Structure 1
Amino acid sequence: MALFNVWTFIFTIINILVLYYILKKVLFKPVTEFLEARENKIKSSLEEADKVRQEAYKLKAKYDEMLQNADNEGKAIIERAQKFAEDKANKIIEDANKEAKAILERAKEEVTLEKIKAMHDLRVEISQLVIDAASRVFEKKLPIDDEDIINEVIEEAGASWRK
């Protein structure tokens, strides 16, 4: 019986070795290859995900920079528009001030011209009054053609009116 047990033991060991060899070729090798392939696929997926994440961070940084540039450009456009509006308003005010000064100057000139015209009209009237008065007083003593005396009286009357 011990002999039977040894042969059974040896035969069992040989069966186990043959079974191990067959399982190794048929089962272990494909399973190991499948597991290695799956591990490689997971590693490549992780590497791909890491690359995509880094690209996403780069794109986010790029878009943030573009957004900041757009914001800065918008602020610059607003500042330029405000400066343009201020310059335009200042120019309008300056033009209005110039026009107001011109109107005042024209008004002063018109007043001066009216004053000169009034003085001239007044001289004519005074000279007429003086002539009338002189002709009545000196009707026979002073000839009407003697205008020097009349002009002197007019000059004196005009000088008193200018003061």
Structure 2
Amino acid sequence: MLRIDFNLVLTIINLIVLYLILRKFLFRPVMDIMEKREKMIADGISHANEEQDKAHALKKQYEDALNGAKEESTKMIEQAKLDAKQEYNQILNEANEKADKVMKTARESLNQEREQAFDDMKAQVAGLAMDAAKKILLENADNISGADAYDQFLKDAGDSHDSEE
């Protein structure tokens, strides 16, 4: 049967006292440390999640700003291209107008010079004709007929004209 002896009771009392002492001085501090550690880890995780959310929000904000800057730079480039094309067309039109004015002035000058040269030639031919006619009439007034006088005039006018060139 079961015998309970005094050593067994003392051992049980020692175990209970040991348990109470361990509970008071070891288990509670260890449990408190573990609870504090668990709380610190939970706070760290929640803080990390908050920081990650902030980082995602900041990243989205930067991406939006970057996209806006890209769109703005694209618009600026397009506007610059349009401005450059307008300026190119304006310069080209001005250059064409100046070239047309220069060409018109040159044509007018050429026409004036041509008319002046033609007038000078007329005056020279008229002068030569007069000189030739005078010469012919003075030299051959008695013995030349009208047709012969004309032929002689043309011959003398041609010789005088050839000698001046």
TM class, shorter-chain normalised?
0.5 to 0.7
Q: CA deviation at 1:6?
A: 6.9
- Find the counterpart in structure 1 of residue 156 from structure 2: none
Distance of 2:112 and 2:122 partners within structure 1 = 15
Tell me, yes or no, if structure 1 residue 50 matches structure 2 residue 57: no
Q: Indicate the percent of aligned positions where both proteins have the same amino acid.
A: 33
- Find the counterpart in structure 2 of residue 70 from structure 1: 69
Structure 1: any 5+ residue segments left out of the alignment?
A: 140-163
Where do residues 77-92 of structure 1 align in structure 2 (5 Å cutoff)? 77-92=76-91
- Find the counterpart in structure 1 of residue 40 from structure 2: 41
Distance of 2:107 and 2:13 partners within structure 1 = 135
Quote the RMSD (CA, aligned, Å).
3.1
- Find the counterpart in structure 2 of residue 21 from structure 1: 20
- Find the counterpart in structure 2 of residue 94 from structure 1: 93
Q: CA deviation at 1:69?
A: 2.6
Structure 2: any 5+ residue segments left out of the alignment?
A: 139-165
Distance of 2:125 and 2:65 partners within structure 1 = 87
TM-score of the two chains, using structure 1 as the length reference: 0.66
**SS of alignment partner, residue 114 of structure 2:** helix
Q: CA deviation at 1:24?
A: 1.5
Distance of 1:70 and 1:36 partners within structure 2 = 50
TM-score of the two chains, using structure 2 as the length reference: 0.66
Distance of 1:120 and 1:8 partners within structure 2 = 160
Q: CA deviation at 1:130?
A: 5.7
Worse-superposed segment, 70-79 or 104-113: 70-79
Deviations along 1:97-131, one digit per CA (max 9) or x if unpaired, are 11221121112211221233134324423543564
- Aligned residue pairs total 138
